[in-house]
Amino acid sequence: MARLFFLLCMVLIVASVNAQNLFVFKSTVKGTITPMSPEWLNTNSMILRSNVVQKDSVYYYDTKENNPDSALIMTQYFDSLGNLLERDEFSVKKKGEVWKVSNFSYLGDQLFKKEIISMTENKEVHEARLKKDVFTYEYDSAGDVVKVKAYSFPNSSIYTYSLTIQENEYDSSGHLIKEFLTRGRGNRFLYRTYIYDHGILTELNTYDSTGYLSYSNTRKFDNKKNILSIYLGDNAPDNLRLELYYDDKKRLAQQKIYWEGGVDYESQYYWYNAGGLVDRQVVKYDINGKKYYYRHFYSR
């Protein structure tokens, strides 16, 4: 019987907080190690505009840049402003099969709707089904997101869905300080609080609908090494769950995920071209040294 490992389940929330990606670690569960897709970084729209990028095609290589074993894994399409319009993600095992399509709609530069259609598998009956999720965004006069409505449609039904409403509060400096959730017909409750030190996010607390503290994340940034460390709980070494390494241009160069007890689990690396666009990505499993390679090809 294959050995079971503790697989770190992570929720990556792509949000803009002090111009940094916000990474939230939730829990740890048992599971086997399986290949994961890399994290697709959100490229700054100004960089996309300056490079006149309309399309980004990403290929997966089991052996480093060896064409015979390559497979198209993702394509992205952008408008003339550098806004992401569509992202199509493909299966590696079944080459060419689309398993997830995301569409984005804007008013000017502001995202007001995101729609995701994905394939899910019912393991009990071995049947693939479509799932649809729709997110709508509302902004205040400062351009901050104040309300997100998330509609989830099982089996792509337009008649049956669940609704979650997220409402955000900001301080006078524009820092996100509170998130409230309303699920379906349930009561609105405080979901998450953010604590800052001189404008730098240092702590994140997440609560359930009864007001119980579910988990906390502590964030510590090393200015000399350009490393952001994120802990589940306080910043004791055994609580380390993620490290983000930035280059001298403040671009993400590596993210390193840890098991419980601070044991290495997975690393993801990013390289950039002369135009500032992500050129290559590598996912490495520290437990066995296995690497997965990804290469971006941009079109005008």
Between 93 and 275, residue with greater pLDDT: 275
Query: Does 90 score more than 70 pLDDT?
Result: yes
Mean local confidence (pLDDT), 216-222: 94
Query: Does 128 score more than 80 pLDDT?
Result: no
pLDDT at 292: 87
∠ CA 20-24-41 to the nearest 5 degrees? 45
Mean local confidence (pLDDT), 248-276: 91
The 8-class DSSP code of residue 47 comes to H
- How many whole angstroms separate alpha carbon 20 and alpha carbon 44? 12
Q: What is the mean pLDDT of the chain?
A: 83
pLDDT at 142: 94
186 within domain boundaries: no
pLDDT at 160: 79
284 within domain boundaries: yes
Mean local confidence (pLDDT), 59-78: 80
66 within domain boundaries: no
Report the CATH number that the domain containing residue 263 is assigned in CATH.
2.40.128
Mean local confidence (pLDDT), 184-209: 95
Query: Does 54 score more than 60 pLDDT?
Result: yes
pLDDT tens-place string over residues 11-42: 332 233 333 345 554 444 333 333 345 778 88
205 within domain boundaries: no
Mean local confidence (pLDDT), 206-219: 95
Rg (CA), the chain: 20
281 within domain boundaries: yes
pLDDT at 157: 62
Mean local confidence (pLDDT), 185-191: 94
Between 64 and 285, residue with greater pLDDT: 285
pLDDT at 101: 95
pLDDT tens-place string over residues 142-184: 999 999 999 998 765 666 789 999 999 999 999 999 999 999 9
Between 20 and 224, residue with greater pLDDT: 224
pLDDT band of residue 8 (cuts 50, 70, 90) is very low
pTM of the model: 0.81
Mean local confidence (pLDDT), 110-116: 96
Number of domains in the chain: 1
Between 254 and 156, residue with greater pLDDT: 254
288 within domain boundaries: yes
Distances, alpha carbon 288 to alpha carbons 65, 200, 295, in Å: 20, 36, 22
Query: Which sign, positive or negative, has the C-alpha torsion 240, 246, 251, 256?
Result: negative
Between 157 and 250, residue with greater pLDDT: 250
14 within domain boundaries: no
273 within domain boundaries: yes
Pull the structure tokens for residue 82.
Answer: 């550098």
Residue 35, φ and ψ in degrees, nearest 5? -60, 140
Mean local confidence (pLDDT), 184-191: 94
pLDDT at 48: 94
The 8-class DSSP code of residue 121 comes to E
- How many whole angstroms separate alpha carbon 6 and alpha carbon 9? 9
Q: Where are the beta strands (DSSP E) in the chain?
A: 5-17, 20-31, 55-61, 70-78, 84-90, 98-107, 110-122, 127-139, 145-154, 162-170, 176-183, 189-197, 200-207, 213-222, 227-232, 240-246, 252-258, 264-272, 278-285, 291-299
Q: Which domain holds residue 238?
A: 215-300
DSSP for 77-103, written as a single string: EE-TTS-EEEEEEE-SSSTT-EEEEEE
